[in-house]
Structure 1
Amino acid sequence: MVYRRRLVDDALDELFPHLAAIALEGAKGVGKTATASQRATTVVSLNVPRQREILAGDLDYVVQVEPPVLIDEWQLEPSVWDRVRTAVDDDRTGGRFLLAGSADVAPGVRIHSGAGRIVSLTMRPLSMAERGLSEPTVSLSKLLSGSRPTIGGRSDVRLAAYTDEILRSGFPGIRDLPDRARRVQLDSYLTRIVNKELPENGAVVRRPETVRSWLAAYGSATSTDAAYTKILTAATAEHVNKPARATVDGYRDHLSRIFVLDPIEAWVPVFNPLKRLTHAPKHHLVDPALAARLVGVGKQGLLRGDGNRVAGATGTWLGALFESLAAQSVRVYAEAAFARVGHLRTRDTEREIDLIVEGEDRRVVAIEVKLSETVSDKDVRHLNWLHDKLGVRLADRVLITTGEFAYRRKDGVAVVPLALLGP
């Protein structure tokens, strides 16, 4: 298979020659191993029993083989993290170690943070720019600069194509399969999470059907900040013997550890001119294709408006998935710009902004996502409210749509089809 270059490759090109150790973190299937292998001379795969046995018996093996060394699924032998850390203390020459991990270490396992020795980069499924449907014409990093770049460009990607992209997923090894094979593979991915990945990474799963039900309920809460009690109620509505809240909270923690849950935390500015903001995260799975499979609605159903959401959620199910697709891409672009992503909502729910991208200089780009080709003043009212509140600290305002053209409105809001937004 021909390697598909990723945005994180740019970061690795810039950083790895100067840093001794970099950890690539993310869910199974996002492409960590393929990306890291492009730079590795020696590969140690700890999901291969023999290689794991060798390393467990002699941790010094990683400093004896020819660098750069890729240690794949390092969390299966957590002590290797500390061995790499001490190796970096001894020799800080750049380009020595790449660690790929699809989980944090299990609870109770103590390792050094690696601060100052091992730098972590997050990988997510393919962004829209990485999928190659259109050439992006609007750069998130330029928007973050506050230079108010000229906004333009035309996209042939329409609602039906965005729906296809939601269902195809951004997992490199899944998205190009034939339709039926892809659906089977996504279902298998979800089954493997419950039956293998969770137990392998320290979770005790006594009732797999409960975990699957909770995942489906969480998926139906995509792009909302619904309370976890509401998600639990939806997950166990038909259960006679309901699991304890602590049990379900444990499942949630483990699913986050293996990067299957990818919530967006609430944004609270350091110098806070905004009052009464919520602190609840906005729910997202690592890929909206997983949410679509869990809820069980196909392309025609999505386009008809089918799909159940958690109680109290507004808008269509397709709209929620489109927002999740946009969020997935924006987070990849933000990672490339060394920026972080949050969301904003006031406690009275009168104001809500889907994505807040905050750069290293504390300036932010506010982004709303709308499943529509047309834009009205009502659609940008929260963006303009935030502009009034933050002033020059708000670098730019963006409304992501399914439309044809990118342009800047008279009020200064950039209207950008998702396919035209890039890093």
Structure 2
Amino acid sequence: MVDYRRRVLDDTLDALQPHLRALSIHGPKAVGKTATAMRRAESIIDLGLPGQREIVAADPTVLTRLPGPVLVDEWQRLPEVWDHVRRAVDAGSPAGHFIIAGSSAPRGAVVHSGAGRIVPLRMRPLSMAERDVDEPTVSLAALLEGNGDVEGATAVRLTDYVEEITASGFPAIRGLPPRVRRAELDAYLDNVVQREFPEQGYPIRRPTVLRAWLAAYAAATSTTTAYSKILDAATPGLGNKPAKETTLAYRDALSSLWLLDAVPPWIPSRNHLDRLGRSAKHHLADPALAARLLGLDASALLRAEQGNTVLSAGTILGALFEHLAALSIHTYAEAAEARVGHLRTQNNDHEVDLIIERPDGRVLAVEVKLADRVEDSDVRHLTWLRDRIGTDLIDALVIYAGEHAYRRRDDVVVVPLALFGP
């Protein structure tokens, strides 16, 4: 049996599960939702199995008769089970009784929200801190609380980060030999196009166009490229382009499968920054999927190749490094009850890669740089933001690919990605 890798989400589950009658763990396939939930369950119902699906469909009360905690896995295979759990909670099921795992219900399924009854928790692919690459020495939660202690050194270098980008954060895939890993990632993407889309109620008439659209979206990683430009890049010279509604359907289906993990624009609540951009920054669920869609392995990335589709003036490796950082920071921030956004002014003269916002509106500002040193020019947007919002900025930091964690003379924190943790 494979040893269980404890997840950042486990700490949240430890705090919440004993007190919640029902919670859901959602996220893309193969991120480890079932493995985490099974360790907490006394009874397991796998709705991916036809026999168990038939039993629950015929007699939903089995959900309340089983000893708890009860894991209802692959719930989207029988969408009405969500409402059965919701009604069981209303009827007074005990605390800690239900764990629901899976993805969203198919389009057209009638499912009530469960708001106030079923608490949703998101699981992403493995963050850097969950990959045992190095021991984090700088805590996001501590920085959010104003604890600015920064120290540590790492032997992780650019080649190691490129390996992490291409290995993926999917637990069952990342440890495989590179060629096998590439085959698994290809199969993952093929399954999305050939099975997951139809099962979500989005039949695909031209799978090659969807695959090209995915590659163009991957090329837009860590940018706010307009969807119209992504479509144009996916269909050069194609006279019969998909309609705008079709590409929006692509986006909606991928979102429902948790395969898009865009960074929303930060809209400040405590200060008066104006003329901010309102477009999300594009990310897939895992940078390895983006690299694979672009036909890039580790050696190609280290040769500074851009892949089969180019949409940005920057290097795709820099964009994928930012994606890896954002994936990790999303996980750490949610564990700290914080939200992640990005800042870009409408005239593009200032941008901050990631803004981590506490519930009270105060923030950490983060720039991500694929470099082994940080220059004064790398922190200018951070110092601009500090001048604009004052004490609403708790701290400012640069995540980079260098060796040491330290605080600059201008009070900006510099942290290797491998040393940054929850």
TM-score w.r.t. the length of structure 2 is 0.98
Note if contact 1:136-1:422 (Cα within 8 Å) is conserved in structure 2: yes
Residue aligning to 2:314: 315
Residue aligning to 1:106: 106
Change (3 A) 1:367 1:309: farther
Q: Which amino acid aligns with 1:64?
A: R
Q: 1:309-336 CA deviation, whole Å, 9 max, x = no partner?
A: 8766232111010000000000010111
Note if contact 1:230-1:310 (Cα within 8 Å) is conserved in structure 2: no
Q: 1:147-167 CA deviation, whole Å, 9 max, x = no partner?
A: 3x2211001100000000000
Residue aligning to 1:337: 336
1:9 offset after TM fit, Å?
0.6
Instruction: Measure, in 1, the Cα distance between the counterparts of 2:152 and 2:93.
Output: 45
Residue aligning to 2:35: 34
Alignment map for 1:17-416 (pairs within 5 Å): 17-102=18-103, 104-147=104-147, 149-308=148-307, 313-416=312-415
Tell me the matched-pair count.
421
1:238 offset after TM fit, Å?
4.0
Q: Which amino acid aligns with 1:98?
A: I
TM-score w.r.t. the length of structure 1 is 0.97
**SS of alignment partner, residue 397 of structure 1:** strand
**SS of alignment partner, residue 164 of structure 2:** helix
1:304 offset after TM fit, Å?
1.7
**SS of alignment partner, residue 17 of structure 1:** helix
Change (3 A) 1:410 1:309: farther
Instruction: Measure, in 1, the Cα distance between the counterparts of 2:299 and 2:130.
Output: 26
Note if contact 2:271-2:389 (Cα within 8 Å) is conserved in structure 1: no
Note if contact 2:32-2:170 (Cα within 8 Å) is conserved in structure 1: yes
1:108 offset after TM fit, Å?
2.8
**SS of alignment partner, residue 314 of structure 1:** coil
1:93 offset after TM fit, Å?
2.4
Q: Report the RMSD for the aligned CA atoms in angstroms.
A: 1.2
Q: Which amino acid aligns with 1:172?
A: P
Kindly report structure 1 stretches of 4+ aligned residues shifted beyond 4 Å: 308-312
Unaligned runs of 5+ in 1: none
1:264 offset after TM fit, Å?
0.8
Q: 1:362-420 CA deviation, whole Å, 9 max, x = no partner?
A: 21110000000111111000011111111111111010000000000011100000000
Q: Which amino acid aligns with 2:21?
A: A
Note if contact 1:226-1:310 (Cα within 8 Å) is conserved in structure 2: no
Unaligned runs of 5+ in 2: none
Instruction: Measure, in 1, the Cα distance between the counterparts of 2:162 and 2:228.
Output: 30
Instruction: Measure, in 1, the Cα distance between the counterparts of 2:308 and 2:212.
Output: 14
Q: 1:97-154 CA deviation, whole Å, 9 max, x = no partner?
A: 000012x22333232211111101000000000001110000000111123x221100
Q: Which amino acid aligns with 2:291?
A: A
Note if contact 1:406-1:415 (Cα within 8 Å) is conserved in structure 2: yes
Q: Which amino acid aligns with 1:132?
A: D
Report percent identity of matched pairs. 55
Q: Which amino acid aligns with 1:396?
A: D
Note if contact 2:22-2:99 (Cα within 8 Å) is conserved in structure 1: yes
**SS of alignment partner, residue 173 of structure 1:** helix
Q: 1:7-39 CA deviation, whole Å, 9 max, x = no partner?
A: 101111111011111100100011000000000
Q: 1:64-100 CA deviation, whole Å, 9 max, x = no partner?
A: 1111110111122111111111111122522100000
1:5 offset after TM fit, Å?
0.6
Note if contact 1:406-1:420 (Cα within 8 Å) is conserved in structure 2: yes
Note if contact 2:31-2:126 (Cα within 8 Å) is conserved in structure 1: yes
Change (3 A) 1:310 1:378: farther
**SS of alignment partner, residue 260 of structure 2:** coil
Residue aligning to 1:15: 16
Note if contact 1:265-1:342 (Cα within 8 Å) is conserved in structure 2: yes
Note if contact 1:230-1:311 (Cα within 8 Å) is conserved in structure 2: no
